[in-house]
Amino acid sequence: MNLLLTRPLEDSRRFARRLSACGVATEIAPLLAIRRTGRGEVAAGRFQAVLLTSANGARAFAEATEERACPVLAVGDATARAARGAGFADVASASGDVGALAALARASLKPEGGPLLHVAGSVVAGDLGRLLGEAGFTVERLAAYRAEAATALPAVAADGLRAGRFDGAVFFSPRTAATFARLSAGTGLASSTAGLEAFCLSQPVADALAAADWRARRVPPRPESEALARLICDSAERP
């Protein structure tokens, strides 16, 4: 099996290593580029907890503060690993989506304990602030990075689609999926996915590909990087 990876470069390289362990080959064509916003030092100590909804947010936050003792709640296991890798010790994972993260915050924190800091990109999926605001929490959001969408389909993707090199493609966000759909259609390659499988982190990601033809759009039982990797590895083992 040979898959096209569309995540930002650093994340795609990490996921490629995971898939290589089960014999899946990959080619990388990032459709989003991560740019740090370059904001000044963040006083993390004034928040009762920091909420992270992406591994990129974890890495960007680590650059924005020298504090490492603040409690961190991460949306999923991959984000939690990124936070621990950056030196944060008190890290809990919701092992799910934004709704699961909100539920973890409501269960483990109290509104009177102080404000929460949501570290994310300039564009966010889901409304964490609203979900926690309804429970009485004060949530401040730090846009620590921005994800810039590609304006043209990368050559690796375009050439591979034309040559029929791919068995499928992997998508981690609705924005990435929508960018792929738009750019492939603009390049005259929309029909080239008809025989391919789209492996999508969640149903909203799969929905963003609905306008194109795919042999299948597959979603893991939970929106986690490792769950998606297992789905792909299991598919590769099928006769």
Is the pLDDT assigned to residue 124 strictly greater than 70? Answer: no
CA distance 36 to 65: 14
At 26, is the pLDDT very low, low, confident or very high (cuts 50, 70, 90)? very high
Query: What's the rounded mean pLDDT across residues 111-118?
Result: 95
The answer to whether 47 and 115 have CB atoms below 8 angstroms apart is yes
96: part of which helix (H) or strand (E)?
Answer: none
SS3 assignment, position 113: helix
Q: What is the pTM of this model?
A: 0.78
Provide the token pair at 29.
């064509």
pLDDT greater at residue 205 or residue 35: 205
pLDDT of residue 218: 97
| Structural domains present in the chain | 2-31+152-237 (3.40.50.10090), 34-147 (3.40.50.10090)
Question: CA 9, 77, 6: angle at the middle one, nearest 5?
Answer: 25
Q: What percent of the chain has pLDDT over 70?
A: 96
- pLDDT at residue 230 is higher than 70: yes
State both tokens at 181: 């759909």
Q: How far is CA 220 from the centre of its chain?
A: 14
pLDDT at 40: 62
| pLDDT given at position 194 | 94
Q: In Å, what is the CA distance from 227 to each residue of 40, 105, 119, 167, 202?
A: 36, 23, 24, 19, 10
